[in-house]
Structure 1
Amino acid sequence: MTETTTKIIPLRTRLAMYGSGLFSDGATNVVIPLWALYLEPTPFVFGIVIGARSLLPFMLSIHGGVLMDRLGVRQVMLFFAAIGLIVPILFPLLPWIWMAALLNLILGLSSTMNWVGAQTLVGQVVRDDPSLTWQVSFCNRLGHLVCPLLAGVMWDLFGPKGGFGVTFVWAVLFMAAVSILPRGKDSSKSLVQKAPDPFRARDFLPRLEDYTKAFAMLSIPLMGVAIAGSVLNIAGGAIQTSFFIAYMKEMGLTGTLIGVVFACLNFSGLVGTASVSPLARRVGDVRLLNLTVLAALIAITITPLLGVFLSLLLVTVMRGLSVGISQPLMIMIPSKLVPSGSQGTVVGLRISLNRLMQTILPPVMGGVVSLVGLEHSFYWVGGTMVAIGCGLWIIFRPPSFLHG
C-alpha cells in the first residue's frame, strides 16, 4: 500500500476491512457438505442441498450490491451478519435433509453478502491501489485456512454441533469487525463524508433498471474477461466444495484430514495471493488470470487419478496457488473500470453469475455421478469446464497494449 493511501485510510477502517475479509465466510464450505453426507442423501439430493447455497445469491447479489451503493455498505453488512449468527445454530436442531437445503439457501445469501460487502469496501477505498486488494484477499484466505481445519477437528471431537459451533463463532467475529466501520455511504477517503440515502420500504424490492444497468457492464471488454474467469474459477470451487468432499469421504478420510486438505488449499492460496503483484507486473493482469483459472480447473479435473492422500494434497496445493493468484485479479480488474458509486453493483454482478454456476453445477454433477459414477464425473464435468476455459481464453485474448 502506498504511503498516501495508508494516510487516507484510518486504522479503524483498515482493521474493519481486514476483519471483514478474515471472517466473511468461515467453515460453511466444509461443514455443510459434511452435514448433508451425515444425513445420507442420494447423490442428486446431495447436489441440490449444496446448490441451494447459491440460488438466492444468484438472484439477489446485484440487488445487494446496489443497496450497498445506495444505503451504505455498513448497514447492509450488519443486516446479513445478524442472519449469519442465527442460521448455523438451527442445522443440528433440525436434522432433516430438506431443512438442510432450506437453511443452506439462507446461509448462502448471508455469507455471500458478507463477501460482497468486503469487496465493495476495497473498491470504494482504493480502486487504483492493488496492495489493499491483495491484503484483504490474503485475510480472506487466512480465514479459510484456519476455520476449516478448526471446524474439521471440532466435528471429529463433538460431532455436528462442534462444526457448526465454529461457524457461529466466526459469524460473531464478522459482526464485530463490521460494527467498527464508520457510518457513511461512501467508503472512499474518510468513509464519513456522505450520509446514507434515507431507507424506504421499497428499497427491499429489486428493480429491473438496476439489473439492466448491471448487465450492461458486460459490454466493457475487460469486464467480460474478469467475469468469465471468475465464473469458471467458481465452477472448480463448486466441485471442490461438493463432490470433491464426497470423493475424500469415499477414500476413507476423516473430518480432520478433510479439514487438513482444505487448510492446505487455503495456505497455498495465501502464498498465491501474496505473490500476485510481482507476477501481474511480469505476466500481465489478464493473461495471469487466464493461466491460473485454467490451472485450477485442470487440478480439480484430475482428482480421480490421485488415489493416494499425498498426491491428492499436492494437486490441491496447486489449485490453491492458482485460486489465490486469480482472486485478487477478479476483484481488481473490474474495480478499475467503474466509479466508486458503482462498486457494489459490479461486485454484485460478478457474484451473481458465480452463484448461478454454483447453483446449477452440483445438481448437474450429481446427475452425472448417477450415470457414470463419482470418479468419471470429474473427467466429464471438469473436462467440459477446461474446454470452455480454453475457448474463452481465445475469445477474450486482450489487445497487446493491455499487457496481458
Structure 2
Amino acid sequence: MSSTVPAGAPLRPLQRALVYASAFFGITTESLIGMLLPLWALDRGLPPAQLGIAVALASLSPLLLAVPAGALCDRYGDRRIMIWAGLGAGVTAALYPLAGGFLTACGLQLLGGLARSMSWLSAQSYAIRATPTGERNSFMGRFSFAGSIGMLLAPLAAGALVSWQGLGAGFLLMAVWGGLLTLVALPLPDIREHERVGTLWQVSSGAYRQALPLLWQAPLLIVMLLTLLRLSSAAVNASFYPVHLDQIGFSAARIGFMFACINGAVSVGSLLAAQLIRRSSMTAVLFGSIVLATLSISAVPFVTAPIAVGLLSALHGLGLGLSLPTLLMAIGRQTAPSQRGLVIGLRTLFNRLGYFAVPVLLGGLVHALGLKGAFLATGALLLAGLGGTYAYLRRSRLTYD
C-alpha cells in the first residue's frame, strides 16, 4: 500500500527522482511509435494515405477520452492511472510485430494510443500536483528534461536494435520501456487535494461538463491553442519525417540518430526554458519556440545531407523543448490544484487533435503535392494559426508574466 500526501507537500529525494523517472518512461513510447510505425508501414508496403490514417488513429481514442481520463486522475489519483496505463502501453507495444496488415495495426493504434496518452497525462498531472508553487519553474524544467532524455536514448537504442535484429526488437524495447512506468509508479505516494466522490461512469460522463467552461478563460484557451499548434508540428516528425529519411537512403540506425538529434535538443531546451523566461518573458518563449519548431521541420524535405538534416532536426527539437515546460508552467499558474488533472486532460485533447489531423492532412497532401509541397503547406497553415493566436492575445491584452 502506498501512503497518501497532500498536494504540494515536500517529497523525499527518492520520490522526486521517481517523479522525474515517470517522465523518462511516460513520454518515450510516443517517440518510439513515431519512429517504428512508419518503418513498419514501409516494411508492409502501406501507401501514404494508410500510413497517415494509422498514425492518426492513435490519437482518436485519446482525443475522445482525454478529458475523462484527466477527471479520473482527479478522482482516483494520478498514481493509480499511471500503473494501469504503463501496463497497457507495454502490452500493446509487444503486439505490433504480430500485426499482419493495416486493419490490425489500426486496432492496436486505437488501444495503444490511449494507453500511451494516459501514461504521459498521468505523469504530468502527478508532477504538477506534487510541486510546491515556489519550485514549479525549476521542477517542471527538470521533469521535462528527464522526459527528453528518455526520448533521446530510446530512438538510439531502437535504431540500433532494428538494424541488428529487425523491427520486432524495436517494438520489444518499446514494450519494456512503457511497462517500466508501472514499476516507477508503485512506490510513489498518492497525492490528493481532497476526497473525491462518484462512480467511474459519473466521473467520466461529467468530465466535459466540468472542463469545457474552463475554455471561456482566455489565458487558458490560448495555452490550449498553443498546445495544439506545438503538437501539430511534432506530428510531422511522428509521421512522414521518417518516410523522407528512408527515401533519401538513411538506414534505421541513422534514422534513430536523427530522432536522437531532435530529442537531445528537446533536453537542452527544457533546461534553458526557465532561464529564457527570466531574461525575456513567458509569452515570448511560448510563441518563439513554436515558430522555431514549425519552420525547421517544414524545411527538412529540402535537404538530404546528414549534417543539414541533423541541424534542422535539432532546431525543431529545441523549439519543442523550450515550449513544453513553459506550457506546463502556464497551466500551473492558470488552474486550481483540484482541477489540474482535468486541465491536463484538456491539454491532451488539444495535443491529440493535432496528432489526429496532421498525419491525415499530410497523407493527402503528399499524394497531391509530394513531400516537399506537403511539408511547406502544413508549415504555412501552422504559422498562420500561430499568428492568429498571437493577434488574439494582443487584442485581449493578456500576458503570462
Task: Tell me the distance in 1 between the aligned counterparts of 2:149 and 2:87.
Answer: 23
Instruction: Give the aligned partner of residue 304 of structure 2.
Output: 307
**Counterpart position of 2:13:** 11
Partner of 2:213: 216
Which residue in the other structure is 1:167 paired with?
Answer: 174
Listed as ranges, the gaps of 5+ residues in structure 2 are 1-6
Q: Which residue of 1 is the match for residue 72 of structure 2?
A: 67
Q: 1:59/1:403 Cα in 2 relative to 1: closer, same or farther (>3 Å)? A: closer
Specify the code of the residue in structure 2 equivalent to 1:126.
Answer: T
Report the AA paired with residue 313 of structure 2.
T
The one-letter code matched in structure 1 to 2:58 is R
Match of 2:352 in 1: 355
Instruction: Letter of the 1:151 partner, please give it.
Output: A
CA–CA distance in 1 between the matches of 2:201 and 2:231? 32
Task: Note the aligned Cα RMSD (angstroms).
Answer: 2.0
User: Match of 1:137, as an amino acid?
Assistant: S
Kept in 1, the 8 Å contact 2:34–2:237? The answer is no
Counterpart of 2:388 in structure 1 is 391
**What does the per-residue CA deviation read over 1:293-315, in whole Å, with 9 as the maximum and x for residues that have no partner?**
11111111112221222111111
State the distance in 2 between where 1:374 and 1:7 align. Answer: 50
Distance 1:175 1:312, change over 3 A: same
Task: Measure how far apart 1:391 and its partner are.
Answer: 2.0
Residue 206 (structure 1) aligned to one of 204, 207, 216: 204
Distance 1:199 1:16 in 2: 29
**1:38 correspondence with 2:40:** no
Moved over 4 A (4+): 196-199, 398-401
Distance in 1 of aligned mates of 2:8 and 2:60: 38
Deviates more, 1:43-52 or 1:300-309: 300-309
Mark the CA change 1:184 to 1:298 in structure 2 (over 3 Å): closer, same or farther.
closer
Counterpart contact for 2:67–2:208, Cα < 8 Å:
yes
Q: Distance in 1 between matches of 2:33 and 2:196?
A: 33
Q: Distance in 2 between matches of 1:95 and 1:403?
A: 49
Contact 2:22 2:123 in 1 (8 A): yes
Indicate how the Cα distance of structure 1 residues 296 and 398 shifts in structure 2: closer, same or farther if over 3 A, else same: farther
Structure 1 distance, partners of 2:101, 2:398, is 56
- Assess if the C-alpha contact under 8 Å between 1:81 and 1:175 holds in 2: yes
Judged with a 3 Å threshold, the aligned counterparts in structure 2 of structure 1 residues 374 and 365 are, in CA distance, closer, same or farther, namely same
Alignment partner of 1:185 is 2:192: yes
Distance 1:201 1:274 in 2: 38
Aligned residues: 390
Given candidates 115, 120, 138, the residue that maps to 1:115 is 120
Paired position in structure 2 for 1:267: 264
Equivalent residues of 2:86, 2:180 under 8 A apart: no
Gaps in structure 1 of 5+ consecutive residues: 187-193
Q: Which amino acid aligns with 1:309?
A: P
Q: Is the CA contact (8 Å cut-off) linking 2:137 and 2:329 kept in structure 1?
A: yes
Identity among equivalent pairs (%): 26
Cross-structure match for 1:135 = 142
Q: 1:359: how far off?
A: 0.9
| 2:291 paired with 1:294 | yes
Match of residue 103 from structure 2 = 98
Q: 1:325 aligns with which of 322, 325, 337?
A: 322
Q: Is the 8 A contact 2:62 2:348 kept in 1?
A: yes
Whole-angstrom CA distance in 2 between matches of 1:299 and 1:201: 43
Q: Residues 264 and 390 (structure 1 numbering): CA distance in 2 closer, same or farther, change over 3 Å?
A: same
Distance in 2 between residues matched to 1:397 and 1:310, nearest whole Å: 38
Among residues 350, 366, 370, which one is paired with 2:367 in the alignment? 370
How far apart are residue 15 of structure 1 and its match? 2.2
| Cα pair 1:264 1:317 within 8 Å, conserved | yes
Calculate the TM-score normalised by the size of structure 2: 0.92
User: Counterpart of 2:107 in structure 1: which amino acid?
Assistant: L
- Tell me the distance in 2 between the aligned counterparts of 1:339 and 1:175: 27
Output one character per residue of 1:167-206: Cα deviation in whole Å (capped at 9) or x when no partner.
01202321111111123534xxxxxxx6x65774535x73
Alignment partner, residue 252 of structure 1: 249
**For structure 1, which segment, 139-148 or 299-308, has the greater mean C-alpha deviation from structure 2 after superposition?**
299-308
8 A Cα contact 1:152 1:259, kept in partner: yes
What is the distance in 1 between the residues matched to 2:91 and 2:246?
28
Shift of 1:400: 7.0
